[in-house]
Every structure is written in C-alpha cells, then in structure tokens.
Amino acid sequence: MPKFLFFTYIFIFGSMIGSFLNVLIYRIPRGLGVVWERSSCPHCNMKIPFYLNIPLLGFIFLRGKCRNCKESIHWRYPFVEFLLGCYFIFTFPAVFSPMSIVQWSLIVAIFSILVCHFFIDIDYHILPDRLNLGLLLVSSLYAFLFLNWKDAIIGGVIGFIFPFLISYIFYKLKGIEGLGGGDIKLWGVLGLILGGSGIIQNIFLSSLLGSVIGGSILLIKKENKNYALAFGPYIILSYLLQFHFARFIPSFIKLF
C-alpha cells in the first residue's frame, strides 16, 4: 500500500475515535450512559443521519450548522476529530512490530482519555473518576510493559501523596480546598508513566503554566472567567510536553 494512502487510513481512524470522544465529552459529565447510538444535535435533538456524521466531512457539508435548527455546531467537534487524526499519524511507530503497535495503542488510549479530561474539566471543573480509573488501567499496563516498574510505582506514590499533603496542610491552615480530588488522582495516575522525578517536574510545570496562562486569561478577560481556574488542563499539557517534547522544557525545571 502506498505510504500516503496508509497514513490517510490512520488519520481517518483517529478522527473516528475523536468523534467518539466528542460523545464521551458530552455524555459523561451529564451522567448519561455511554451507548452506541447515532449522535443528535444538542439544540434540537434531531438525529444526525449517518452520511452527515462522518468526522470532519460532516461538519464541512453542513457548513458548521445543524441542518434542522440552523444552530452553529461548536468548533470543538471538528477540532477534536482533527486533533485525534493528527495525533494518530504523528505517534504512529516508525518501526513496525507487534510490540510497537501495542505501545502505540496504549499511547493513543492515554491521549484519548486525557482529551476527554481536558474539555470536561474546562466545562465542569471535574476530572471524572470513571476516566481516572480507565487511565489507571491503561497507564499501569503501559508502565508494566515498557517502563521501569519500580520508578513507576515511586512516581504514582509521589504523584498522589505529595499534592494530597499540600492540599491537606492548606486545608488545615486556611480552611479552603486548594486542589481538587480529581487533580490529585490524575497526578497519581500520570506518576506511573512519568516516574518519580518526572511527576515532580509535572507538579512544578503545571503550577507554572497554570499561574501564567490562567492568570493571563483572567487579566485579559477582566472578568471572572471560570474556565481559567480548571487545573486539569495544565497537568495534561505539562504531561504532553514532558512525554513528547522533553527537550524543549527549560533546564531549571528538569533539575527536579
């Protein structure tokens, strides 16, 4: 098969997963069961016919509007489909072997769950337990197969205990909850992949990103922009930086 055609298939596969993630992002925080049924317009509930439900192309055919009620379709839907398609291509292993395919599958599974976490946290300020549990399963398998499992356990323990203690002390001193339970669980799970020093880096880097980006959003918008306060997205962005672009992280952060 020509290389171009092969990667087109990988992209289409990724965007289909992205389309499914859109369903999860919509349904999980609303407490709706995740069932395999045709998507419907969130405004008028009209079922979307299968030929318009094709990732990305459906959005282009419809020119970003529901055919029934003419409400705009949120840009996030095609964005997530496009993002997943690109991620699937860029992470696809250069050397093809059964083991590299297993590794790739786990990496894209972790990414998929993190994408759901990212948008649900922005919308609802929660990192659902169901997703953290799924992430725990996939990360444990990844750490067991491909990483030093001792360092993975150390990372998991530090990722959970360290923020928990800070949060606890903060609570005792000030009477307010500094960190959400979901953030702490997410650090614990990502600690399995990042290892001991990696998770400390992540705590440092995400706090830095959170204060710089979150602070800027608050300043520019000049009003209390609620979404600036969700912390999960910074943990996730930091993880992706560490996992894929470690060489771009400033060395003062790597000291940890």
Q: How far is the CB of 44 from Zn ion (least distance, A)?
A: 3
User: Tokens 């709706």 map to which residue?
Assistant: 32
Q: Of the two residues 68 and 91, which places its CB atom closer to Zn ion in the complex? A: 68
Instruction: Closer to Zn ion by CB, 73 or 241: give it.
Output: 73
Query: Between 71 and 177, whose beta carbon lies closer to Zn ion?
Result: 71
Nearer CB in complex with Zn ion: 66/189: 66
Tokens standing for residue 39: 């998507």
Query: How near is the Cβ of 83 to Zn ion at its closest, in Å?
Result: 24
Minimum Å distance from CB 73 to Zn ion? 9
Nearer to Zn ion, 43 or 221 (CB): 43
Q: Which two tokens stand for residue 218?
A: 């608050």
Pick the closer one to Zn ion by CB: 63 or 172.
63
Cβ nearer to Zn ion, comparing 68 with 140 = 68
Mention every residue, 6+ apart, whose C-beta is less than 8 A from residue 95: none
Cβ(16)–Cβ(8) below 8 Å: no
The CB-of-234 to Zn ion minimum distance in angstroms stands at 34
Binding-site ranges for Zn ion (CB under 5 A): 41, 43-44, 66, 68-69
How near is the Cβ of 40 to Zn ion at its closest, in Å? 8
CB of 66 to Zn ion, least distance (A): 3
Please state the closest distance from residue 71 (CB atom) to Zn ion, in A.
5
